[in-house]
Structure 1
Amino acid sequence: MGGGASVPDGVHVVVVGGGFGGVAAAQQLKRRGFSFTLIDMRDAFHHNVAALRASVRPGFAQTTFIPFADTFGDSFVQGRVVGVATDRQTVLLEGGAEIQYSHLILCTGSDGPFPGRFNAVAAHRSAVRAYDELVAQVQAADSVLVIGGGSTGVEMAAEIKTEYPEKKVVLVHSRAALADPELRPDVRQQAKEVLLEKGVELLLGHKVSNQSELQLNVCRKNVIVVTDKGDQLTSDLIISCTGLKVNTGAYAADLSSCLASNGALKVNAHLQVDGFANVFAVGDCADVNEPKMAYHAELHAAVAVSNIANSLGGKELTSYHTGNITMLLAMGPDDGVGQFNGFQLPRCVVRLGKSRDLLLWKSWKGMKQKQPVM
């Protein structure tokens, strides 16, 4: 297992979920010579860090999906996991197929509204079409309303206003401060300043009260939006950036005793799910007190795979420790705000480090594939 060590017979690791954590785990298992199966609903890795730009820039979406089979071959299976039979060490797929495991890494991620998430059993070409169709809706609209001023909403509003500065963009947020609450206050204030500089109109401390009646992601002229404070707005296009939740469908029924209140799996310091030495949780579905980010999911994956190898080799298990928060918000390709290890970064550093290309190069390089030229 790495360095020429052999993997014992009968070891087969199943990785459920092909997001950043799942792909990182699969890459490390492959590198160490493990037998493994990576399962995902899509046939391609979605670099969803770039999903919002794919919603506004024509042709960009094709660069955000990287086919799994080209990297992992027969070790990849497309399908929806509907259950985990821990007594039989078997993963159950929709349609009746079963895959046995000696070790299991759950990386099911979070679910939420399109375009921030695309979670469906689908070929990536259909996902690309969905993003291209949203681009057309954005182009057809004279005004866009973004619901939710967390980090996703902030980035969404900035992407639209940067790509289409002539359009009216309004961001409605239920709180007074924008972006992730775990960010430094001065970084959150800076995000607000960038939006205002770009010309985004902010309506803070308001909730949209008729959201259930609104059709999202479709251009319809002068739709009326009502807030809980009685204000009325009109907009041609409404995009929701709220409601992110842990994706529990693969394990909730079978691991109900291990669930935290938000649906994440309770884990120990080694990222082992409570009561199961051979089951690990990685990324958003691990109950770890830190922001849910691709960067953290990749760190989790390294710990989980190392601990599978360590347990097989009789070595001490590695612990995962949270650190100071690092988070970068890309606010269009020309700007950004963020912090590294708890320290605020200059906007130009965020722009160069993330905003320009949204780290797409890193995913294509990691998957050992050539990024298409737009």
Structure 2
Amino acid sequence: MGGQSSSPADGHVVVVGGGFGGIAASRLLKSKGLNFTLIDMREAFHHNVAALRASVKPGFAKRTFIPYAETFGESFVQGKVDRVDTERQTVILDGGREIQFSHLILCTGTDGAFPGKFNAVVSYQDAVQTYEDFVKQVQAADSVLVMGGGSTGVELAAEVKTEYPEKKVVLIHSKVGLADPQLLPSVRQQVKEVLLGKGVELLLGQKVCDLSSLQLNVTHRNMAVTTDRGESLSTDLIISCVGLKVNSAAYASSFSSSLAADGALKVNQHLQVSGFSNVFAVGDCADVREPKMAYHAELHAAVAVSNISNILKGKDMTSYHTGNVTMLLAMGHDAGAGQFNGFKLPGFLVTMAKSRDLLLWKSWREMEQKQPH
């Protein structure tokens, strides 16, 4: 199975993490005819750009998980990476299985609260069911409190209000500005206007102060919530969209000297991990100063794979350069806000480009599978 039998002498690339960066790298390795193994703890790729709609719209979740094995065959191994033995060039999985590599691409992404993130050792069916169960919690609530007004929080608040306009939706955010601070001020204002236009109530510049005593993701009638400014409100369902962190568990012990303060891997301009010429970091776990987005992970993957290919052929490596921020926020199927290459886009263009289908068509096409309806 996978790459167990292959010898690193032939060139065998192990990709750890099957998010947007991981599947982009695996597709490129496959197209170049390079020997590789993709390892992920799930059975299916999670198109988590659409996770928030899957958490409010019944029947949508099955479109957001795409089985790895149908695309990558025996080059895919389901498992959780316990650690990397850099001396022996071996990835060790929970349970003891070892997979050797000549080159390693780490793309473990970020972890955070469900429903925005869903990192668990789980089957396709169970993954879909977890979202369907959450939809029922949302449907049972008359009022929803979303904590966190970054990109995930504003998109989720908009999704709930779009799908269930009769529900009371409150968004609480510790800062005054919404969405990603690297966005243009005019785009962040556009986000605020979309939310207010949909009827989302905003509590800005404050945060929930009794968080540990509150139950998240489960509907209970009239839960009392107070903020650090002394405001009180009552809600039926509390969803957290804060606390995103780099998912470093698979590599932290093996690459301790290469870690940035937040757990990301320090990389050079070729995306090689500091101190290791045959190890690359891609996507959210690479310490690159830019917003953490699927779009950037795919750009990183192209650089990492072409550099591995160039190393094997004895050619010069290419470099990765950050560009102007491009970010599209889907705010329900009928609205959006964002910018392309540093320029603000009209809302209708974002709606057409992203909000309607959340780029699901792109992942299904790239995985060479048919999307269920």
TM range (shorter): over 0.9
Structure 1 residue 9 displacement after superposition: 5.2
Structure 1 residue 169 displacement after superposition: 0.1
Structure 1's unaligned 5+ residue stretches are: 1-7
1:70 is matched by which residue type in structure 2?
Answer: E
2:301 is matched by which residue type in structure 1?
Answer: A
Q: Which residue of 2 aligns with 1:92?
A: 92
Which residues in structure 2 correspond to 1:266-345 (within 5 Å)?
Answer: 266-345=266-345
Q: Which residue of 2 aligns with 1:4?
A: none
Structure 2's unaligned 5+ residue stretches are: 1-7
How far, CA to CA, are the matches of 2:213 and 2:50 in structure 1?
A: 29
1:269 is matched by which residue type in structure 2?
Answer: Q
How far, CA to CA, are the matches of 2:225 and 2:126 in structure 1?
A: 30
Q: SS of the counterpart of 2:270?
A: coil
How far, CA to CA, are the matches of 1:9 and 1:281 in structure 2?
A: 22
Q: Which residue of 2 aligns with 1:148?
A: 148
Write out per-residue CA displacement over residues 51-106 of structure 1, whole angstroms, 9 at most, x where no aligned residue.
00000000000000000000000000001101010000000111111110000000
Q: Which residue of 2 aligns with 1:251?
A: 251
How far, CA to CA, are the matches of 1:127 and 1:314 in structure 2?
A: 43
Q: Which residue of 2 aligns with 1:177?
A: 177
Are 1:117 and 2:156 an aligned pair? Answer: no
Q: Which residue of 2 aligns with 1:350?
A: 350
Write out per-residue CA displacement over residues 206-263 of structure 1, whole angstroms, 9 at most, x where no aligned residue.
1111111111111100001111111111100010000000000000011000000110
Q: SS of the counterpart of 1:229?
A: coil
Q: SS of the counterpart of 1:276?
A: coil
Q: Which residue of 1 aligns with 2:196?
A: 196
Q: Which residue of 2 aligns with 1:60?
A: 60
Q: Which residue of 2 aligns with 1:260?
A: 260
How far, CA to CA, are the matches of 1:231 and 1:349 in structure 2?
A: 38
Q: Which residue of 2 aligns with 1:166?
A: 166
Residue range with higher mean Cα deviation, 103-112 or 9-18: 9-18
How far, CA to CA, are the matches of 2:165 and 2:19 in structure 1?
A: 32
Which residues in structure 2 correspond to 1:232-243 (within 5 Å)?
Answer: 232-243=232-243
Is the contact made by 2:161 and 2:198 (CA closer than 8 Å) also made in structure 1? yes
How far, CA to CA, are the matches of 1:177 and 1:48 in structure 2?
A: 24
Which residues in structure 2 correspond to 1:7-86 (within 5 Å)?
Answer: 10-86=10-86
Normalized against structure 2, the TM-score is what? 0.97
Q: Do the aligned partners of residues 227 and 150 (structure 1) sit closer, same or farther apart at CA in structure 2, a change above 3 Å counting?
A: same
Q: Which residue of 1 aligns with 2:4?
A: none
Is the contact made by 2:11 and 2:312 (CA closer than 8 Å) also made in structure 1? no
Runs of 4+ in 1 over 3 A off after TM superposition: none
Q: Which residue of 2 aligns with 1:5?
A: none
Normalized against structure 1, the TM-score is what? 0.97
Q: State the percentage of identical aligned residues.
A: 72
Q: SS of the counterpart of 2:273?
A: coil
Structure 1 residue 347 displacement after superposition: 0.3
Structure 1 residue 151 displacement after superposition: 0.5
1:165 is matched by which residue type in structure 2?
Answer: P
